Amino acid sequence: MYRDLREFLTKLEEEGQLVHIHDEILPEPDIRSISRAAGDIPNGPAVMMDNIKGYKGMRVVMNVHGSWANHALMLGMDKNAIPKAQFFELLDKWKKYPGEVRFVDKAPCQEVVVTENINLFEMLPIFRINEYDGGCFFSKASIVSQDPDDPDNPDKENVGTYRLQVQGKDIIGMQALAFHDISKQLAKAEAENKPLPVAIALGVDPVLTFMASTPIFYDQSEYKFAAALNGIPQELTKAMTSNLNIPANAEYVIEGEIIPRQRYAEGPFGEFPGSYSGVRRQVRIKVKTITHRKDPIFENLYIGRPWTEIDYLLALNTCVPLYQQLKEQMPEVQAVNAIYQHGLTAIIATANRFGGYAKSVAFRLASTPHGISYCKNIILVDADVDPFNLTEVMWAISTRVRADKDVIVIPNTPGMPLDPSSDPPGMGNKLIIDATSPTPPDSVLREIRMVDKIKGSEAYEKVIADLQKAIGR
């Protein structure tokens, strides 16, 4: 599908999902306000800005993944595809792992090489995303690093999205939490007092960005996943200052090293739960080289009070691994909707193999690697309820739940530190709401008969939609 960001932008433009702002704007607050607006419009477009005061001649693109329409186009689907259809499409593509990687010479990302007088504030049109952020952040970077004990193992080469704060002309602060893959690699390097080489790729193909924010296993390759989802080989090249393999068609690649055994003030940053993180001491990257394409495009995203672009990058890619892990031993599971704040709330559609089974499904979710910390509110609905359709979910809760037996709270479990209700940060509770219909030997309180879905109504949906279109709606 898309070799690079530019091919995807061309597709978005063809589909009416990319607009350009040529009027002169200020880095702050205008880029923030424009990006917020693009994300708030139903099926809002990506926005390219090319007339930023003080940064004349540079371009910023925002909201590239910021709507279900753009997300569908990333998956090669019709832009009107509903989230549930996108979930199953992603699941199909997921099964094609591993895809192929291909090394290229004369990579576009190295058309221009800068090794001296590096000044990030002047070389990229950066801006403060939210007004009380500690500085200008890269919120959509793909950060490449290797396992110091196994540097030639391509499957352990990590590509992850971690927030990056530009703190000096050639200094970048990074937040990596203890459970992030890069932290395992950093711990090994720091134990030997060695710097960890990193490459920060900005403006890569949309599927690689998507995979960089997906929780996959440590020895699974984001590059091979991106290739599988994209249906074409992932093109890589060697970094200029390290052994790292980097996306050949990135707009910018910032190469550097994490300074070992030092921590510096970082943050705050308006995070995905919609609240600011605190100021903490985090690692710093010392930049050695910046390479970029000719006339590069700086891609970033707005993150703040949900729903924002980040939510699309933490949505179906959170659902699919959870679904697969459940489905492995619980084939009754039909679909998992964990699109809310990286799965802090998750809705599972499942059949009840026997009485109480749905609650076991919830326990299973709460014990998956991601679910342990993240999935705290778990809602179970019947197999014929679409968990992505909140009207159906609320119907299930309204008509199935008897709180005395269907609502359970398990106290003092792991929590997600960035969740403002996690107190102390990292501790939490599990809430289970079982909105499935009771199955024997559970007592079935009253016999009821469901009104069946109307066979044949789907065919009329298109007829009516076409009629509506014909009268100009």
The window from 4-12, 281-289, 335-343, 369-377 that contacts other proteins (CB under 8 A) reads 281-289
Residue 112 in contact with other proteins, rule: CB under 8 A: no
The window from 171-179, 372-380, 381-389, 394-402 that contacts other proteins (CB under 8 A) reads 171-179
Q: How far is the CB of 189 from other proteins (least distance, A)?
A: 10
Q: Pick one of 187, 394, 465, 467: the residue that binds other proteins (CB under 8 A).
A: 187
Does residue 271 carry a catalytic annotation?
A: yes
Alpha carbon 251 to chain centroid, angstroms:
20
Q: Pick one of 3, 6, 20, 29: the residue that binds other proteins (CB under 8 A).
A: 29
Q: 178-184: long-range contacts (C-beta < 8 A, 24 or more apart)?
A: 179/373, 181/218, 182/143, 182/145, 182/158, 184/147, 184/218
Nearer to other proteins, 97 or 276 (CB): 276
Per annotation, catalytic residue among 222, 271, 299, 309: 271
Nearer to other proteins, 113 or 444 (CB): 113
Residue 116 in contact with other proteins, rule: CB under 8 A: no
- Residues 333-372: x/- map of binding to other proteins (CB under 8 A)? ----------------------------------------
Residue 28 in contact with other proteins, rule: CB under 8 A: yes
Q: Pick one of 222, 266, 271, 382: the residue that binds other proteins (CB under 8 A).
A: 266
| Three-state SS letters, the chain | CCCCHHHHHHHHHHCCCEEEECCCECCCCHHHHHHHHHHHCCCCCEEEECCECCCCCCEEEECCCCCHHHHHHHCCCCCCCCHHHHHHHHHHHHCCCCCCEEECCCCHHHCEEECCCCCHHHHCCCCCCCCCCCCEEECCCEEEECCCCCCCCHHHCEEECCCEEEEECCEEEECCCCCCHHHHHHHHHHHCCCCEEEEEEECCCHHHHHHHCCCCCCCCCHHHHHHHHHCCCEEEEECCCCCCEEECCCCEEEEEEECCCCCEEECCCECCCCCECCCEEEEEEEEEEEEECCCCEEECCCCCCCCCHHHHHCCHHHHHHHHHHHHHHCCCEEEEEEEEHHHCEEEEEECCCCCCHHHHHHHHHHCCHHHHHCCCEEEEECCCCCCCCHHHHHHHHHHHCCHHHHEEEEEEEECCCCCCCCCCCCEEEEEEEEECCCCCCCCCCCCCCCCCCCCCHHHHHHHHHHHHHHCCC
Residue 134 in contact with other proteins, rule: CB under 8 A: yes
Alpha carbon 327 to chain centroid, angstroms:
22
Q: Pick one of 70, 175, 300, 437: the residue that binds other proteins (CB under 8 A).
A: 175
The window from 104-112, 187-195, 331-339, 389-397 that contacts other proteins (CB under 8 A) reads 187-195
Q: How far is the CB of 317 from other proteins (least distance, A)?
A: 24
Residue 373 in contact with other proteins, rule: CB under 8 A: no
Q: How far is the CB of 137 from other proteins (least distance, A)?
A: 10
Q: How far is the CB of 71 from other proteins (least distance, A)?
A: 30
Residue 264 in contact with other proteins, rule: CB under 8 A: yes
Residue 167 in contact with other proteins, rule: CB under 8 A: yes
Q: How far is the CB of 325 from other proteins (least distance, A)?
A: 26
Nearer to other proteins, 266 or 311 (CB): 266
Nearer to other proteins, 137 or 323 (CB): 137
Q: How far is the CB of 256 from other proteins (least distance, A)?
A: 16
Q: How far is the CB of 18 from other proteins (least distance, A)?
A: 25
In order of 185, 200, 203, 280, the CA distances from 144 in angstroms are: 11, 6, 14, 23
Nearer to other proteins, 38 or 136 (CB): 136
The window from 104-112, 165-173, 431-439, 440-448 that contacts other proteins (CB under 8 A) reads 165-173
Just list the catalytic residues: 271
Residues of the shown chain interacting with other proteins in the complex, contacts defined by CB under 8 A = 26-29, 53-58, 119, 121-123, 128, 131-132, 134-136, 165-169, 173, 175-178, 183, 186-187, 190-193, 261, 263-266, 268, 276, 278-283, 417
